Amino acid sequence: MRTTRLFLTLIICAITSSALAIAPCDNLTYGEARDCVKNELQKADAELNKLYKVLQSHIYTAYKDEKVISDVSVKEALIKSQRQWIEFRDAECHFQSEQAQGGTGTLEGYVHSICLLSLTRNRIRDFQQYIKKLKEFQGNK
């Protein structure tokens, strides 16, 4: 049993090693990196919330005069998408942190925070792309 846990922990560390190097939090001690990741996560959450509002505004502007697709239906789709993304993010990060339980207790919270940060940064990139496409759409009207 002990060998199995060690093996699983090594696999998890190998799989997540690239994720553990989260800029600007790499090359720090564990405690510094943990605090840095939490700080970066707060910044990423704030940026995501800001972009969500910007995206809603661009949806309204892009679709307000459309006859086929209404801005309301697109906004409702965005809301549904965001709620389901949050559910996915939470479930995925729970899954990843549960795997880390086989190692040390302190690693679990760190893996969870890194997962949240990584997925949030990916969602930010998604929102930036959506906004860019909406701007292009508005420019082509």
pLDDT above 70: residue 141: no
pLDDT at 70: 84
Token duo for residue 11: 């696999």
Contacts of 34 (CB under 8 A, 6+ apart): 109, 110, 113
pLDDT in tens, 25-34: 888 898 899 9
Per the listing, tokens 């990060």 go with: 93
Residue type for position 51: L
pLDDT in tens, 93-139: 999 988 877 655 668 888 999 999 999 999 999 999 999 999 998 87
Report domain extents, the chain: 2-139
Confidence of residue 7 (pLDDT cuts 50, 70, 90): very low
Q: What are phi and psi of 104, to 5 degrees?
A: -100, 150
pLDDT in tens, 52-64: 999 999 999 888 8
Lowest mean pLDDT among 8-12, 19-23, 91-95, 107-111: 8-12
pLDDT in tens, 64-82: 887 778 888 999 999 999 9
- This prediction's pTM: 0.80
DSSP the chain: -HHHHHHHHHHHHHHHHHHH--TTSTTS-HHHHHHHHHHHHHHHHHHHHHHHHHHHHHHHHHHTT-SSS-HHHHHHHHHHHHHHHHHHHHHHHHHHHHHHTTS-HHHHHHHHHHHHHHHHHHHHHHHHHHHHHHHHHHHT-
